[in-house]
Amino acid sequence: MEPFGLNVLADLRTMTIPWEVGNVVTSRKFLQGQRDVVERAIKALLEGNAYVLNPAHRSPLLELLKTRLGLKSAQDAVGAYEDTVKYYVLKKPYPYREGLQSIIAEVGKVVPSAASLKYEDVADPSIIEKLDKGGYIDGLYR
């Protein structure tokens, strides 16, 4: 981050603090009533992840990062790309139990009623499991 003129106080990516990033968030009611819509959205996100993780697309993605983020050099774009594929774009983005539990604990400090929530109360990995076990995700990487 220093190349971008930012002072780094802590690099949370390298610390052992479980956290969750990049979830699809919806209400339980919408998931139950519009499951097909949620599944199609998750498929689109998985296809986007596969595109970004495909080495054949690295050059156009580097150019996109450089121009859209206003980066000063190609090396800055390489750094942004490498961080993105290492930390944020997952092949199989299952909900991260420990990360969600950390978030519940933090929210529970401010909203006491949230402290009693469990992973199962806030996460439903059934669609990603279906797409994984059915071979859809692996099929994106062949």
Find the largest Cα–Cα distance for the chain.
48
**pTM to 2 decimal places:** 0.85
- State the pLDDT at residue 103: 93
What is the band of 1 on the pLDDT scale with cuts at 50, 70, 90? low
Q: Which amino acid is at 23?
A: N
Query: What are the domain boundaries of the chain?
Result: 26-139
Angle at 13 between CA 3 and CA 7, to 5 degrees: 35
Q: Is the pLDDT of residue 2 over 60?
A: no
